Structure 1
Amino acid sequence: MQSNRIISLRALAGSLMLATSVLAVTASAHEQTKTELFKAGVSYAAGSSNPTEGERPPLYRGLGDLTMPITTKSKEAQAYFDQGLRLTWGFNHAEARRSFQEAQRLDPECAMCFWGEAFVLGPNINDAMHEEAKAPARDAIQRAEALKAGVGGKERALIEALAKRYGANPTASRPPLDRAWAEAMGNLAKAYPDDANILVFYADALMNLQPWDYWEADGLTPKGQGGEIVAALERALEIDPRHPAAAHLYIHAVEASTDPSRAEAVADRLRGSMPAAGHLVHMPAHIYARVGRHSDSIAVNRDAIAADEAFLAQSGEAASALYRFGYYPHNVHYLMLSAQMAGVRDDVIGSAEKLATITSDDVSQELAWVQAIKAAPFSAHAQFSDPDTILALPNPGDRFPFVKGYWHYARGVALAFKGNLEAASSEAEAIEQIIDKTDMSGLEEQYLPAKDVLGIAKFVVEARIAQAKRDYVEAERHLNEAIRLQDGISYMEPPYWYYPVRQTLGAVLLQQGRAEEAIAAFEKALQETPRNGWALWGLLNAQTAGNRETSDTKAAFARAWLGDEGLLSLDRL
């Protein structure tokens, strides 16, 4: 064990030196391609005003025991600082800010209480730094700097490092400031290699230079500072295996790799450790879904939804729009997707119906990934509802063409099942009109490949029409076009398209009697979505048709499929 620790320390030290030497080059390369999932100009963390006595945030139960001892004369201020830290790493940024502000009220001489507010107002991997956050962030770090004479060396170094993130010039370009912060935290990580909190801040700083972009296309080679990110987080987890922030960021750091299972034990330890922090309750699902633990993903997302609903009920108007209309619906979306893989119709349709009531048009207008959540119920209905139910779904209107494209998709699938092929073709044409005539650059700038996703929808509808005609060669042609588009879409969890189209290709190949090719298609679909019940059922049927051994697949399907087998048919895969 000791030798492993020495190796880990040496690896981290090497990573830190490498990071310092190449940081500026790597960050510069990412400046033009930074994945900002939130539209610049809208900040929900900065929207929380200074709390009055009547708005004093509570000390919540169920947020775990993460602590970062700071210089303060008030035990209660320390408690609120720690709560702010826990909420920060639970991506409940506005509520974290309220906790840091309450800590300031309790101890106006607490430098780190102002530091915490300045930190949480900065960018994170889901949210760029926005204009209205700049002034309060600068004010907070300046207050911390004014008080730093009263703190020890580590806190003073953290304050000086964070000051580099904002700078004196309010119009300064963001990327050089983010690089300066990351470089400063790299130096601190070298100075304090046994401090898990500092290692997490360092990893977070690096992740913000290339958010959601940590691996080359092969999923094996770290991209940019990806290797340093993973090394810092693994060292933090070696120091404190239950550090929730290290676990959270580590899951994000490795989920898009070809080996997400390396974070499985981390996800298991995070599970249940902060039962009131809905986003952290949910986070293990990012690994569970990737490795095919759909039942576990369903369970943690149910718990996350309950935690978020309790928080939103308690916090009322103090809850940020982002948390209420972004992170909370994300958990419902995730539950729906995992239930789709496992065939749990009640959870699928229940989640779809809930999403229709808890998303916000205004937030969906600003945030591309929330618009993707808004569209998702139509895909759930397309897979699990009967055609008449689908055709009765109301027209979502023209404000969100991307969402309306999904509505046309669901209708096209339903009409094809009913045999009304001319009407189904009209739905495919409507999707094509949206693709051709709608400016979706706003979504694509936020890395939602809207036209490609709708292109998949169009081709799948056309394939369903051809399938209904028993024109399997034509269906195969459309499906290969859909697969071409799907293969080009970057990683996102939940995926931008809800199932692997190769599973439909496998069904069409099997319908032509091409069992061996169908087996290959289903196996490829299962590589993309492990333990996907639909693809396992297809594989089982293809193996049977090809006179292959089926016992392992039969057992895997029995474990994976939690719903009614009556839902399954080749026409529905």
Structure 2
Amino acid sequence: MKIVSTLLLGLGLSYFFLTNDAPRQYSPLPADPIPFFCAPSLDWSKMKDDHGPLIPAFTLTTFKISSRVDSAQLYFDQGLSQLYAFNHGEAGRSFKTAIRLDPVTPMPYWGLAMVLGPNYNAALNPAALDEINAALKKAKALLGSATQVEKGLIAALDQRFPDAPVEDMTPYNEAYTAAMYKLYQTHATLPDLAVLYIDALMNEHPWNFWQKDGKPQAWTAATVAVIETILKRWPNHPGAIHYYIHATEASQQAELALPFADRLGAMVKGNGHLLHMPSHTYIRTGDYHKGVLVNEAAAASDSVYISQCNARGYYPMLLYPHNIHFLAACAFLEGNSSKAIEAAWMVSKLADRKYLAENVTVQHFYSIPYYVLVQLEKWEDILQLPMPGESLLYPRAIWHYARGMALAATSDFQQADQELRALEKIASDKTLEKQLIWELNTAQQLVSMAGLVLKGELDARQGNITAAIPVFKEAIGLEDQLNYNEPPDWFFSNRLRLGSWLLKSGDFSGAERVYSEDLQTFRENGWALHGLHKALLAQGKKSAAANVQARFIKAWQWADVKLN
């Protein structure tokens, strides 16, 4: 059959429409305002609706549907693959294109309803229910040509959505999961049914599988066991690996996913979010340089995809900058200041100004340079930064925090105190309590923490370390109460600052304890290892200090920061 192909430089992506080749088995910014919580956040008209590109690298699985149109099958496979990759906008465009190519086959309508529904990163948008139910109605009207598996999937998904918005989606989610479990049990040889069952389980408790101390929730063990069982049978399914990384990252055994994380990249070239996903494991296992490398690859891949394929919505607005945000975090933790600063400014630049006033997650991206420059003590650079606009409460608060830290470090205590007062005034604004970053933590939590850190720093810099220590401990208490997110929303650990001041105060055993605690969260990070080494030496613990120093040398091999 005739193949129409256009080479996309950098990824080797092709647009093509008809082919008999089987897809391989598992082996810049949005133009229109969109609400963050939508899934997918997509302007269909701007996406050219049902004329999406067919990108060979984007097809990661094959799920045979009852279509006689080869190209519709290809677009369906791409849509399902991108559903696993959390590129819901491209998945939706693929399913829409499959509908255009074969309007009488039911499964592309099922796929469209799936991507318009909730996902692990975003709750159901009630405004999408009409389109979801319309797609399901069409799918049900076409069941005469459907296989038993297709009928089961459509019937299951029909239980997931109410006719009109409801306050509590729990009964619908549970009904959908139960239906998917039956399908999974009945058709145990189909890997994609197994992974769709995982998807149902994960979306019952998104980002809520582990308590703040790393202990499992009541439902966690059963969900993880299902994923591990499926991975034993299909160890190279990228969707199952993706979910396993998410299911284990906040646990005390994130290393369980390490073998899968290490091999995922080779299977998903061209898929930026999946290329990035191993770093959710690496940042928890102390493999920060691996995190740098995979996020560099992910950012490069997404940059080409977004520009060449006219991607819109949630993916370019949030997931693409997320790669670079993660890069900044991993680079900082390995001591690579130049990469950390470069990535911080890049993610700030990618914070789409059209959504800055209304989307606090975008504001968080915008503010990352303030955090990174404070951690790296780039005081003169900070003092040159202009103040964000009056309407940007959260970025403006963190700007005051950064300036206050810089002024305190350069002994301008009077001006630093003025920055603290400005910061505390913003912290009292109740609107910050409703401004959520990734729907996980509030801007108010971060701004309050910033105020405590600056207050403690002012006390300590003026010689009152005794007064500063409990203030830093209070900031650590707030940090420990944050919901889990990666990278952490507070950029970076307050224990590093407390440990430094404990060393300066002569409380070496206290510093040892604090740095050891930090290493439980950010394993093998050189900042804490260096402080721990100094604390041990000061107590005469030479053997333990030598061991820590060897670990530090390994951890710091990619660093450009010299620690005194």
Question: If the length of structure 2 is used for normalisation, what is the TM-score?
Answer: 0.88
Distance across 1 between alignment mates of 2:144 and 2:57: 35
Partner of 2:25: none
Partner of 1:432: 424
Note if contact 1:196-1:237 (Cα within 8 Å) is conserved in structure 2. no
Distance across 2 between alignment mates of 1:555 and 1:362: 48
Q: For residues 150-180 of structure 1, what are the alpha-carbon distances to aligned partners after superposition, in whole Å with 9 as ceiling and x for unaligned? A: 122111111111111234x234554432222
How far residue 44 of structure 1 moved from its aligned partner, in angstroms, is: 4.2
Partner of 1:395: 387
Partner of 1:258: 252
Choose from 292, 306, 317 the match for 1:298.
292
- Matched position secondary structure for 1:439: helix
- Matched position secondary structure for 1:271: helix
Partner of 2:397: 405
2:309 is the alignment partner of 1:315:
yes
Distance across 1 between alignment mates of 2:500 and 2:346: 31
2:458 is the alignment partner of 1:462:
no
What amino acid maps onto 1:261 in structure 2? E
Choose from 144, 155, 175 the match for 2:150.
155
Q: How many residues of Structure 1 are paired with residues of Structure 2 in the alignment?
A: 526
Partner of 1:325: 317
Choose from 544, 547, 572 the match for 2:540.
547
Q: For residues 126-160 of structure 1, what are the alpha-carbon distances to aligned partners after superposition, in whole Å with 9 as ceiling and x for unaligned? A: 11222332222112112211122212211111111
Distance across 2 between alignment mates of 1:183 and 1:452: 37
What amino acid maps onto 2:43 in structure 1? G
Partner of 1:247: 241
Choose from 366, 371, 377 the match for 1:374.
366
Note if contact 1:200-1:232 (Cα within 8 Å) is conserved in structure 2. no
Q: For residues 479-504 of structure 1, what are the alpha-carbon distances to aligned partners after superposition, in whole Å with 9 as ceiling and x for unaligned? A: 11111111211211111112221222
- Matched position secondary structure for 2:155: helix
Note if contact 1:50-1:98 (Cα within 8 Å) is conserved in structure 2. no
- Matched position secondary structure for 2:416: helix
Q: For residues 209-232 of structure 1, what are the alpha-carbon distances to aligned partners after superposition, in whole Å with 9 as ceiling and x for unaligned? A: 221111234423333x32332122
Greater helix percent: which structure?
1
Note if contact 1:341-1:534 (Cα within 8 Å) is conserved in structure 2. yes
How far residue 301 of structure 1 moved from its aligned partner, in angstroms, is: 0.5
Partner of 2:378: 386
- Matched position secondary structure for 2:441: coil
Note if contact 1:40-1:128 (Cα within 8 Å) is conserved in structure 2. no
| 1:179-190 equivalent positions in 2, closer than 5 A | 179-190=174-185
2:475 is the alignment partner of 1:479:
no
Note if contact 2:420-2:451 (Cα within 8 Å) is conserved in structure 1. yes
How far residue 365 of structure 1 moved from its aligned partner, in angstroms, is: 4.4
What amino acid maps onto 2:394 in structure 1? F
Gapped regions of structure 2 (runs ≥ 5): 1-33
Distance across 2 between alignment mates of 1:547 and 1:77: 71
What amino acid maps onto 1:351 in structure 2? A
Choose from 204, 226, 229 the match for 2:223.
229
Distance across 2 between alignment mates of 1:313 and 1:51: 13
What amino acid maps onto 2:390 in structure 1? D
Choose from 225, 229, 238 the match for 2:232.
238
Note if contact 1:46-1:121 (Cα within 8 Å) is conserved in structure 2. no
Distance across 2 between alignment mates of 1:233 and 1:56: 35
Gapped regions of structure 1 (runs ≥ 5): 1-37
The 3 A distance-change label for structure 1 pair 50 and 412 is closer
The 3 A distance-change label for structure 1 pair 241 and 192 is same
What amino acid maps onto 1:135 in structure 2? D
Distance across 1 between alignment mates of 2:69 and 2:495: 60
Choose from 524, 538, 542 the match for 2:517.
524
What amino acid maps onto 2:255 in structure 1? S
Of residues 281-290 and 464-473 in structure 1, the stretch that sits farther from structure 2 once superposed is 464-473
Alignment RMSD, CA only?
A: 2.1
The 3 A distance-change label for structure 1 pair 190 and 415 is same
Question: If the length of structure 1 is used for normalisation, what is the TM-score?
Answer: 0.87
- Matched position secondary structure for 1:272: helix
Distance across 1 between alignment mates of 2:195 and 2:524: 33
What amino acid maps onto 2:507 in structure 1? R
- Matched position secondary structure for 1:116: helix
Partner of 1:17: none
Distance across 1 between alignment mates of 2:181 and 2:296: 38
Identity of aligned residues (%): 34
Partner of 1:512: 505
Choose from 160, 176, 186 the match for 1:191.
186
- Matched position secondary structure for 1:363: coil
Q: For residues 219-260 of structure 1, what are the alpha-carbon distances to aligned partners after superposition, in whole Å with 9 as ceiling and x for unaligned? A: 23333x323321221122112111111111111111111111
Partner of 1:111: 106
